[in-house]
Amino acid sequence: MANKKIADMGLPKSIANLFAARNILTAKDALSLTEFELMELLDVGLAQVISAVAHISEITCPPFQTAHSLMEERHHNEHLAGHLPTQLKGLDEALCGGIPFGALTELVGPPGIGKTQFCLKLALLAALPINHGGLNGRVIYIDIESKFSSKRMIEIGAKSFPEIFRLEGMAKEMAGRILVLRPASLSEFTESLQQIQLSVLQNQVKLIIVDSIAGLVSGEHEREAPRQHSLGWHISFLKSLAEFSRIPVVVTNQVRSQSCGDAMYSFQVQNEHEIVKDPERLELHLVAALGIHWAHAVTTRLVLEASSG
């Protein structure tokens, strides 16, 4: 809606022409200016500018829905009210039924904890027929660290769903639904995301997995700032992809160790000396990689940890 042409908004002819003459063509151009800037640029009175801006705003602004109609819609149109069950009882309960559609779910954990195994299982689940608790769709698996193993996946399938995998040709069909992409660099990754956008709806893609997004940037950027910036686009793209195609998107993230306590607000710092005395705070502890900007964009974060003992 932001790039909607002002010419098509049904403003009075005279003022629409003025906008066109000043090269203010889209709603985005017009609304980035203040009313007084517009007065100067268009050379018309305040009252006219205000009514024009109000008109443009009304057309540009998205429609509303009540929360109730939103819920009805989800319950009617979607299998299991928009969740992909993980078939782990406790986890499904905590997640209200499984990995949510239309949202970004992140798996965080130390190396070897089983993030990739979890992803393989999810990929299988999404490919399974509906009567076995799956979504009966295709899966796009973006495997950045080259960890995807078809052999392992079939093994998991055969163990967890013997009744399906014993059938002739089923293993082939299930595995055939999972498309693995292996982008070697950030730019290739960007490219494949753009391609995916087009094919998701046409090809019944029901799940997108990115394993692991941190691997892609840790090699390319040394410093913190460009890393945050370069991934900002990817995360919001993945998020909107999830939302508008109403499918779950799962990404994995690595952990890194941090030596001292978390960053704090300035009002907390006054008490900092007390906290530092606490010996536990000085130990190394693990935090999710990719920083705070990334974490804000994630809808659900699952932390995998090994319990001691």
Query: Under the criterion CB under 8 A, does residue 94 sit at the interface with other proteins?
Result: yes
| Per CB under 8 A, 200 contacts other proteins | no
Considering only the stretches 91-99, 139-147, 189-197, 246-254, report the one whose residues sit in contact with other proteins under the rule CB under 8 A. Answer: 91-99
Rounded to the nearest whole angstrom, what is the least distance from the CB of residue 218 to other proteins in the complex?
18
Q: Taking the CA atoms of 177, 141, 110 and 269 in sequence, report the sign of the dihedral they define.
A: negative
State the burial class of residue 308 (Cβ atoms within 10 Å of its Cβ: 0-12, 13-18, 19+). exposed
Among 15, 39, 180, 186, binds other proteins (CB under 8 A): 39
Question: Between residue 120 and residue 149, which ones bind other proteins under the rule CB under 8 A?
Answer: 121
**Interface of this chain with other proteins, residues 101 to 120, rule: CB under 8 A:** 102-103, 114, 117-118
DSSP string, 208-255: EEEETHHHHHHTT--SHHHHHHHHHHHHHHHHHHHHHHT--EEEEE-E
284 binds other proteins (CB under 8 A): no
Question: Which H or E element spans position 68?
Answer: helix 67-77
292: phi then psi, degrees, rounded to nearest 5? -80, -35
Query: Which of 1, 7, 167, 276 contacts other proteins by CB under 8 A?
Result: 1
Stretch that binds other proteins, among 64-72, 180-188, 192-200, 248-256 (CB under 8 A): 64-72
Q: Figure out which of the listed residues 9, 44, 80, 170 binds other proteins, where binding follows CB under 8 A.
A: 44
Q: Does residue 62 touch other proteins according to CB under 8 A?
A: yes
Near other proteins by CB under 8 A: residue from 15, 16, 80, 91: 91
Binding letters toward other proteins, positions 233-262, x by CB under 8 A? x--x--xx-xx------------------x
Parallel, antiparallel, or unpaired: how do β-strands 255-258 and 138-143 relate?
unpaired
For 50, the enclosing helix (H) or strand (E) is helix 46-60
Is residue 295 a contact residue for other proteins (CB under 8 A)?
A: yes
Q: Is 290 exposed, middle or buried (0-12, 13-18, 19+ CB in 10 A)?
A: buried
Phi, psi angles (nearest 5°) of residue 225 = -60, -50
Would you say 187 or 233 has its CB closer to other proteins? 233
Based on CB atoms, which residue is closest to other proteins, 69 or 185?
69
Strands 83-84, 249-253: parallel, antiparallel or unpaired by DSSP? unpaired
* 159 makes contact with other proteins (CB under 8 A): yes
Residue 172 or residue 296: which is nearer to other proteins going by CB?
296
